[in-house]
Structure 1
Amino acid sequence: MRILYIIPARAGSKGLPGKNTKILGDKPLISHTIEFVLKNIKENDELCISTDDDIIFSIAKDLGVEIPFKRPAELATDTATTYDVIIHALKFYEERGQFFDCVMLLQVTSPLRAKTDLDNVILSYDNDTDMVVTVKESKENPYFTLFEEDKNGLLVKSKISNFQRRQDCPNVFAFNGSMYLMNVLSLKKGSMNEFKRIKKVIMPNERSVDVDTMADWILLEYYFSNFNTN
């Protein structure tokens, strides 16, 4: 199985400006994900950093990674989708005669991943799977604590149920943003939102921080200071 590892990292960010290059520990945030891939990538695999940020080009170069292209401006806007970024990268390599079985998407903003998490994702994959994704168990539950607003402006449960205790509700899971291993053939048929055959790998909450706000960053720093990848 040949994997294209993609790290998407555009320059703009409204929630926490400059978060991809913000210093975590003693290095830029993106360096943690790049180094994770470099430690675990197989000889036949490929690492692709998709970015329009000159600072990230410099960071990658210092780590010995050559970024093969600069992300086009139309794929670096607030409206551009991750799916578009993935397809652009696949086409770039295929036009140069390089083909992959899977894409492994790693978000810069979810850096607290361990080798065991990666191993579990890869072991869970087979050719009949659209995607294996890392998740966390969700505290919020659509049967109990999640509500939607109806046409009258009143709150109704997202999933109608008669559960009296949250503990009795079915377990629900949330993507934690860490790793998405996707079948290339499935990607060419449609976006991740259309996938039907999805498997999960559960990661603990302390490795499931996805940074979008300063509050997320403070939590990330706390877990990072206590994080052990073994």
Structure 2
Amino acid sequence: MNPLVIIPARGGSKGIPYKNIKPLQGKPLIYYAIDAARCITDDIHICISTDDDKIIKTVEDYGIDVPFKRPDSLATDTAGTYEVLLHALNHYEQRGESIDVVILLQTTSPFRTGKHVEEAFKLYHPGIDMVVSVKETDSNPYYVCFEENKDGFLHVSKGEGGYTRRQDCPPVYEYNGAIYIINPNSLKSMPLNKFTKRVKYVMDREHSLDLDTMMDWHVAEYMINTGVIVSQI
């Protein structure tokens, strides 16, 4: 199977300035994603999609060749991940490569390990659209999520099952943003949110941490310093 690992790394970032190459415990954030990718494939199959020269230099210093510079139209605040994935996939296919599976690893999940990616990859087969990493949600719609009815009164969001304990509720999952293992034919047919044949790969809350704000960043540093996370590889 010929994989293509795509790691999007736009230069602009508002929540955490230059987060993709900001050092986390002395190591640029993007290196964590590259290390996870290297556990399942060779460097030649790792694609860093970026518009930024500083990021290109940082990645090349780590031994990864950057095959192209992302066009400005795909480097704005409104540019979607779907278009970025298609752009990268098209680049490799135009080079004559036949890609069997696309793996999206976002830089903002530093505690996703190579082992996680390996385990998720084992769940993939060409008969599905995607394997996606998830965590069990804290906001279970059978228990703690409420909506207003037409009279303005709150009612349980998903059904009136009468659950009195959280542990009795059906499990509900949310994407954690760490791993997407995608069928390239499905990708070329529709955006990821239109996929119907999705298989979950469940991760714990600690390894699911997603860095979106500086508060998230400080939490990550705390988790490393206190030993909550022992290894990031």
How many angstroms apart in 2 are the aligned matches of 1:66 and 1:219?
Answer: 32
Deviations 1:10-37 (A, max 9, x none): 1112222221121101111111212332
Q: Which amino acid aligns with 1:124?
A: L
Task: Report the counterpart of residue 58 of structure 1 in structure 2.
Answer: 57
Mapped pair 1:121 → 2:120: yes
**Taking every aligned residue pair, what percent have the same amino acid on both sides?**
47
Task: Report the counterpart of residue 18 of structure 2 in structure 1.
Answer: 18
Task: Report the counterpart of residue 199 of structure 2 in structure 1.
Answer: 199
Q: Assess, with a 3 A threshold, how the Cα gap between structure 1 residues 63 and 53 changes in structure 2: closer, same or farther.
A: same
Q: Assess, with a 3 A threshold, how the Cα gap between structure 1 residues 80 and 156 changes in structure 2: closer, same or farther.
A: farther
Q: Which moved more, 1:167-176 or 1:146-155?
A: 146-155
Task: Report the counterpart of residue 146 of structure 1 in structure 2.
Answer: 145
Q: Which amino acid aligns with 2:104?
A: L
Q: Assess, with a 3 A threshold, how the Cα gap between structure 1 residues 99 and 12 changes in structure 2: closer, same or farther.
A: same
How many angstroms apart in 2 are the aligned matches of 1:48 and 1:171?
Answer: 35
Contact 1:207 1:223 in 2 (8 A): no
Task: Report the counterpart of residue 187 of structure 2 in structure 1.
Answer: 187
Query: 5+ residue gaps in structure 1?
Result: none
> When the two structures are aligned, how many residues end up with a matched partner?
229
Aligned residue runs from structure 1 range 1-230, under 5 A: 1-42=1-42, 46-148=45-147, 155-161=154-160, 162-225=162-225, 226=227, 227-228=230-231
Contact 1:138 1:172 in 2 (8 A): yes
TM-score norm. by structure 1 comes to 0.92
Q: Assess, with a 3 A threshold, how the Cα gap between structure 1 residues 146 and 104 changes in structure 2: closer, same or farther.
A: same
Report how far residue 49 of structure 1 moved. Answer: 0.4
Report how far residue 169 of structure 1 moved. Answer: 1.1
Report how far residue 168 of structure 1 moved. Answer: 1.4
Contact 2:20 2:29 in 1 (8 A): yes
Report how far residue 69 of structure 1 moved. Answer: 0.8
Report how far residue 150 of structure 1 moved. Answer: 5.7
| Partner-residue secondary structure (3-state), 1:210 | coil
Report how far residue 156 of structure 1 moved. Answer: 4.2
Q: Assess, with a 3 A threshold, how the Cα gap between structure 1 residues 170 and 90 changes in structure 2: closer, same or farther.
A: same
Give the CA RMSD over aligned residues. 1.9
TM-score norm. by structure 2 comes to 0.91
Report how far residue 134 of structure 1 moved. Answer: 1.1
